[in-house]
Amino acid sequence: MALLTLDDLSLAFRGVHVLDNVSRFVESGEKIGLLGRNGTGKTTLLRMIAGDQEPDAGTCVLASGKRASFLPQEVPGDLSGQVFGVVQEALSLQVSEGQIETWEAEAKSKQIIDLMGLDSDVDISSLSAGRKRRVLLARALVTEPDLLLLDEPTNHLDLEAIEWLEKFLASWRGTLLFVTHDRGFLRRVANRIWELDRGCLSAWECEYDEFLKRKAAALEAEEKQNALFDKRLAEEEVWIRQGIKARRTRNEGRVRALKQMRQERQQRREQPGKATLAIQESTRSGTLVCKAAGLSFGYADELVIDTFSTTILRGDKVGFVGPNGCGKTTLLRLLLEELEPAAGSVRLGTKLDIRYFDQLRDQLDFEQNVVEQINGGNDFVTIDGNQRHVISYLQDFLFTAERTRLPVKFLSGGERNRLLLAKLFARPANVLVLDEPTNDLDLETLELLEQRLVDFQGTVLVVSHDREFLDNVVTSVIAFEPEGVREYVGGYSDWLRQRGGVGVPKKPPGSPSKKLTTVSDVPGTKTQKLSYKDKRELEKLPARIESLEAEVAALHELMGDASFYRRSAEEIASTQKSLQELEARVATAYSRWQKLEQSVS
């Protein structure tokens, strides 16, 4: 007997069918990845199975005596109390019904909390988003469910937690139905794929990579079939419009068939369009974006960052990785001069136009509608120098005209992320700071975002736990390791390889934290004083570099004009030589600046 039976499920919102007479079975032991575009109803289906939402028609039946647990996409805002109490609360029904004793509930709660690496006595309100997700997962697992429903389980988890969860679920003997944007997680866990597309729920008896091949072939076949149908319908419309000739044939069956074809064409739901994300690039920044020397920072005498140095240049794509709460966002704020370091120095480059993407979506007003979030609610937005109506712009991010009028609180998690991207890209930038930009995005939009970031000529600083995203986008990784903060060339896989394939680093339990000290506290360290002449030179170098870079930019603009190459060969060669000399002077100035900075840091 099937563990779960979906029988003719139907659900519609504002006349659009999210589920259209869906019927499916889930057998024990299956691990099913549920895919679909943002807003197609994946979370709705999970909530329906969990019993949190009623369908318009049809039934959703769990086998007798079986239990299901649901891990929601978002952390509930009213979650409070100590971790132990939050987890044990999930067993209260079993205790009240006499299925288990109180002492058993306490033992089970303690066991799963230890398994998750959590502290029983900590107040959940003090935990990071990732740790709260672990608590919710513990609460879902403590009931020993036969069917586990997970909605974006990797959201806010760090790399260590994601790898642990992968191994745990891959070896777990229960049945799993989950939604995820993490392609690596999907490949390692799912042995079946369900796809929710235009109200239909398709089952694919294969793993993710094979699904991609079969899906591409199915879409191609659908396009050919629709084209043949439309051609046949057009021919029949020509026939019926012949009027008298058509009536003389007295072919009533053909007329009925035409009416049926018209109805079928009217009911067809076309394949959804593709997002057309475009990043507006502002004027080029200076060659140097950020230079940090000997940065140290901490809270309450606990050192978070210890004498870290780095140089970020225009065009760099830098990924920040490490456990939740290790200080990734803190380091970003230090590099952008939003925090004052306890020791060390930070110098930002020139002409920086910085835009931020916030993983907690604090930039969104949940009571306003979608249109009001873009450009202060104005009807038009300027994109690459051209005026566009805001609704037309939002359609590039797959928002229909109807959904642009909805309050943000009614959007799905993926739609909110797409709205944040629309808001981010509505203004030009040459530095993008992205904090978990992949959370909740559907896979198609995620892959498009990757491509746009790779093509972006500016600088990208990104915090992400999506391993494939890091491999596909970043050119270097700044990793928080037990030994300290270190920088590596390449993406996530390159980082692991350079570490010798030892896997994601973990902080040993009970490891002592370093005490926060300033430079003056370190024995044997002395600040080297510059001569008056060198000090004056150091003060003037930033303005000098900015002036040189302005001259370089002016020559680039001149040479970018097609009419430039109509000039004489001597003039073209002279200009090119001037450009080379200027770029050499910029490089020399940066080298001198770095040398003087190191002398005093």
Q: For residues 81 and 225, state if they share a domain.
A: no
Residue 520 identity: S
301 vs 579 pLDDT, higher one = 579
Q: For residues 220 and 314, state if they share a domain.
A: no
Rounded Cα distance, 59 and 45, in Å: 12
Residue 443 resides in a domain: yes
- What are all long-range contacts of 472-476, with beta carbons under 8 Å and residues at least 24 apart? 473/317, 473/319, 474/317, 474/318, 474/319, 475/316, 475/317, 475/318, 476/316, 476/317, 476/318, 476/319
Reported as type and span, the H/E element at residue 70 is strand 68-71
* CATH value at residue 580: 1.10.287.380
pLDDT tens-digit series, residues 139-172: 998 988 999 999 988 887 888 888 888 888 888 8
pLDDT tens-digit series, residues 76-128: 777 888 999 999 998 988 888 888 899 999 999 999 998 888 889 999 888 87
The tokens describing 239, both together, are 């026939």
- Domain with 46 in it: 4-199
Beta-ladder partners of 488? 477
Q: Assess whether pLDDT exceeds 70 at residue 248.
A: no
CA atoms within 13 A on the CB side of 224: 6
Rounded to an integer, the average pLDDT of 522-538 is 61
Total count of domains within the chain? 4
Report the percentage of the chain scoring pLDDT > 70: 90
Q: Output the pTM of the full model.
A: 0.68
Q: Assess whether pLDDT exceeds 50 at residue 511.
A: no
CA–chain centroid gap for 57, Å, is 34
pLDDT tens-digit series, residues 32-57: 999 988 778 888 999 999 988 898 89
Rounded Cα distance, 195 and 193, in Å: 6
pLDDT tens-digit series, residues 131-147: 888 898 899 989 889 99
Q: For residues 233 and 178, state if they share a domain.
A: no
pLDDT tens-digit series, residues 449-477: 898 899 899 999 999 889 999 999 999 99
- Would you give the DSSP letter of residue 582? H
- In the predicted model, what is the mean pLDDT of the chain? 83
Q: pLDDT class for 277, splitting at 50, 70, 90? A: confident
402 vs 273 pLDDT, higher one = 402
Q: pLDDT class for 523, splitting at 50, 70, 90? A: very low
Residues with Cβ within 8 Å of 231's Cβ and at least 6 positions away in sequence, in order, are: none
Rounded Cα distance, 307 and 433, in Å: 23
Rounded Cα distance, 114 and 76, in Å: 22
Residue 380 resides in a domain: no
Sign (positive or negative) of CA dihedral 84, 90, 95, 100? negative
Q: For residues 30 and 130, state if they share a domain.
A: yes
Reported as type and span, the H/E element at residue 161 is helix 159-171
Query: So what's the pLDDT on residue 109?
Result: 92
> Which of 143, 164, 199 is the last residue before a domain boundary?
199
CA geometry: angle 470, 471, 476, nearest 5 deg: 70
Q: For residues 508 and 549, state if they share a domain.
A: no
The tokens describing 428, both together, are 């030009």
Rounded to an integer, the average pLDDT of 382-397 is 84
Q: For residues 129 and 250, state if they share a domain.
A: no
Q: For residues 104 and 52, state if they share a domain.
A: yes
542 vs 432 pLDDT, higher one = 432
* C-alpha dist (Å) from residue 533 to 190, 536, 580, 587: 66, 5, 29, 21
Residue 44 resides in a domain: yes
Nearest CA-CA partner of 482 in 462, 512, 461 = 512
Residue 184 resides in a domain: yes
> Which of 501, 521, 541 is the last residue before a domain boundary?
521
Rounded Cα distance, 492 and 525, in Å: 35
Contact indicator for 109, 88 with CB cutoff of 8 Å: yes
Report the percentage of the chain scoring pLDDT > 90: 23
Q: For residues 44 and 153, state if they share a domain.
A: yes
